Amino acid sequence: MSGPQRRVAYGLGGVMVVFLVTHVQEAPVTHRWRLMTTPEWIERIVTRSSFRGVMGEFGNSVLPESHPVSRQVAKVMVRLINAAHDYPDPETGRRLNLFTELGKADIPLDEWRFYVIDDVAMGRPTPNAFVIGGGKVFIFRSILPICEDEDGLATVLSHELGHLLADHLGEKLTLSPFLLTLNMAMYSIFGSSRPGDILVNALLDTSFSREMETEADYIGLMVMSRACYNPQKAPRLWQNMMKFERQNGQTPPELLSTHPSSDRRFRNISEWMPKAVAVYSDSGCQQAQGFNSLLGGFSGFGKVSLV
């Protein structure tokens, strides 16, 4: 390599190093370091497109805001949002607004929208929930019996909120070009796209997705604890999910799944429980729950059916 070529190579290498260093970001709550290169405006385009797609498919099956189930979902979600706005990080001792911790714009409470999709009435029960950037929360009605109560519902919704707080959409969009490059490299070696598809989808893509799902479980558990939902009820949700999966034959091998198995999630949450209970206790939740129990069902403090 000649002198000019060497200088060009060093220059390009230096630019690449600077680019990577300046785009390494620490995830909130878990403090996991990852590469993030996706501009916020690209995420907004993706989320708008996703919202239009979901409403195009399910818009006619969304329960009205006045429906008791819709109001219950909104009530739980508002508590979780407020908790995420004032989260005392047990690792650093700092009080954080988790919505702005990554430099993103905050989402005012009055801009959030909550949609309950009545997939039961559609005859296509698909227990699921997700949060789209910009404050759009979707939950399928068929997951509510699995939740059983508000603590179970908070477990589901806080997990989905965890994806938003950790900006997993931006992380996935960051990974996409690297996975595409790997796929193209495999194609050039084998002359077929199939080996690359297998490697990217079965090993890398699913592995990254499981890591994000686990992170969302952890963030969600801490946020629901901060919101004074009982974290010790969270494992019950995954027990119910395991039962549902066994009954419906929906348990693919974890290696081939984008989500951790419900059994793995149950064990993870049990392992994290001491930290979650500490957040719950430090937030004064035990005293608050004692006061609420005295009120019983008065003024909406009692248990409300989710189904």
Domain extents in the chain: 26-300
- Catalytic site positions: 160
Give me the chain's average pLDDT, please: 83
pLDDT for 307 equals: 54
- 7-46 per-position pLDDT tens digit: 655 566 565 666 566 668 889 999 999 988 889 999 999 9
The length of the chain is 307
pLDDT band at 167 (very low <50, low <70, confident <90, very high): very high
pLDDT band at 154 (very low <50, low <70, confident <90, very high): very high
pLDDT for 228 equals: 96
pLDDT for 141 equals: 96
Q: What is the mean pLDDT of residues 220-228?
A: 97
Residue 304 has pLDDT above 90, yes or no: no
> Taking the model in full, what pTM does it have?
0.83
